[in-house]
């Protein structure tokens, strides 16, 4: 799997997510069952990146938003967002739509 | 997370945050069970989101309010169900008071014409939770995993047992001896039935 800045992702329907306080909690649904023994928590900038994934923005747009909102070097933000997307995609939480 | 030194990083550099976005931490199995990671409100929000999506919910039970039917550490499977299909004896995941979710037994069903409502109580509790609205019921306990055992509470035997327990539940003093007696009787009838079937074949 690889991710490029032109890719567009949407949140997978095989996963339930809830924002609670500063965290986003993701619960994968497998065979129509969500197992609370197997959940993922996004902390720090993670929930913001997750929020920005909407099926319309490209990965590059998301990087630009993060750079605008946080005090961060664009190269570091890009590397982190790409890695984030790759990681969540490997969990089945994101689907590439374009 | 409270108590976690990393939580002090709020407002600090992105570098500090960076380590955290990359760690999509998978909760260890036991911490969920003990509720150290998920607060009651978090659990309720997730349970509601999952069951409203139409999927079933699997989690580890804690507490002893439904002992011996449900025990500490059992893994429960909750299926979403319309309040219309619930009946006396079913064990439901519902909101009893504030935001607390409990898996307790239905002792009574209120008039469906005025909107469903249910009288619920834990088998091991001295008092009832009271009447709860059908809208606060998230789902029904369908299966219990205990060690190597998988117990279907949707089987005829367990539904009958559940109904009888619900009938006896107000008589707390006699409930547990009666439950044991009923359970043994059902097991005996079951084995007798198997003997008859074997004999017939």
Q: What are phi and psi of B194, to 5 degrees?
A: -65, -40
Is B45 in contact with A20 (Cβ distance < 8 A)? yes
For A13-60, write each residue's pLDDT tens digit.
Answer: 888 888 877 778 888 898 999 988 888 888 778 888 999 999 999 999
pLDDT tens for chain B, 201 residues: list them.
Answer: 333 333 222 322 233 343 334 433 333 322 222 233 677 778 888 899 999 999 999 999 988 888 888 998 899 999 999 988 999 999 999 988 776 789 999 999 987 666 789 999 988 887 888 899 998 999 999 999 998 899 999 999 899 999 988 888 766 555 666 667 777 787 777 665 554 444 443
Q: How far is B45 from chain A (nearest CA, A)?
A: 7
Using an 8 Å Cβ cutoff, are A28 and A93 in contact?
yes
Average pLDDT over residues A68-75: 86
Region A81-97: mean pLDDT is: 89
Alpha-carbon distance of A28 to A38, in angstroms, equals 8
| ipTM over 0.95 threshold | no
- Residue-level pLDDT at B172: 56
Per-state percent for chain A, helix, strand, coil, to nearest 5: 35, 30, 35
In a mutagenesis test of the B interface, which of A43, A46, A77 is the best target, namely the one with the most B β-carbons within 10 Å? A43
pLDDT of residue B200: 40
User: Do A76 and B18 count as a contact with CB atoms less than 8 A apart?
Assistant: yes
Chain A residues with CB within 8 Å of chain B CB: 16-18, 20, 22, 25-27, 29, 32-46, 49, 70-72, 76-77, 80, 83-84, 87-88, 91
pTM of the model: 0.72
Alpha carbon distance B24, A28 (integer Å): 13
Tell me the count of A-B CB pairs closer than 8 A: 117
Q: How many Cα atoms sit within 13 Å of B181 on the Cβ side?
A: 7
Q: Can you spell out the DSSP letters for chain B? A: -TT-GGGGGTTS-HHHHHHHHT--EEPPHHHHHHTSSS-HHHHHHHHHHHHHTT-EEEEE--SSTTTTTS-TTPEEEEE---GGG--TT-EEEEE-SSS-EEEEEEEEE--STT--EEEEE-TT-SS--EEEEGGGEEEEEEEEEETTEEEETTSHHHHHHHHHHHHHTT-HHHHHHHHHHHHHHHHHHHHHHHHHHHHH-
Residue A76: its pLDDT value, please? 86
Cβ-Cβ contacts under 8 Å, A45 against chain B: 14, 17-18, 20-21
Q: Which of B13, B15, B24 sits opposite A42 (nearest CB)?
A: B24
């Amino acid at each position: 799997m690889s991710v490029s800045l032109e890719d567009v992702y949407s949140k997978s329907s095989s996963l339930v997510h809830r924002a609670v306080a500063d965290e986003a909690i993701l619960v994968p649904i497998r065979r129509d069952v969500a197992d609370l023994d197997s959940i993922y928590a996004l902390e720090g900038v993670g929930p913001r990146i997750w929020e920005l994934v909407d099926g319309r923005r490209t990965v590059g747009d998301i990087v630009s938003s993060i750079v605008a909102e946080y005090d961060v070097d664009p190269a570091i933000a890009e590397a982190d967002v790409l890695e984030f997307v790759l990681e969540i995609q490997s969990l089945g939480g994101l689907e590439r739509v374009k | 997370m409270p108590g976690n030194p990393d939580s002090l990083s709020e407002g600090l550099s992105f570098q500090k945050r960076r380590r955290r976005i990359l760690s999509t931490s998978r909760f260890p199995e036991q911490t969920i069970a003990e509720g150290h990671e998920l607060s009651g409100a978090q659990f309720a929000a997730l349970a509601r989101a999952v069951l409203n999506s139409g999927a079933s919910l699997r989690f580890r039970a804690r507490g002893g309010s439904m002992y011996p039917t449900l025990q500490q550490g059992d893994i429960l499977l909750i299926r979403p169900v319309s309040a219309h299909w619930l009946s006396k004896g079913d064990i439901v995941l519902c909101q009893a008071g504030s935001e607390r979710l409990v898996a307790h037994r239905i002792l009574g069903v209120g008039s469906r014409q005025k909107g469903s409502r249910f009288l619920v109580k834990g088998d091991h509790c001295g008092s009832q939770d009271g009447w709860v609205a059908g809208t606060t019921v998230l789902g029904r306990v369908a299966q219990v995993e205990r060690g190597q055992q998988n117990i279907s509470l949707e089987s005829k035997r367990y539904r009958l047992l559940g109904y009888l327990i619900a009938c006896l539940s107000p008589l707390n003093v006699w409930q547990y001896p009666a439950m044991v007696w009923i359970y043994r009787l059902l097991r005996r009838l079951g084995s007798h039935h198997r003997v008859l079937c074997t004999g017939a074949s």
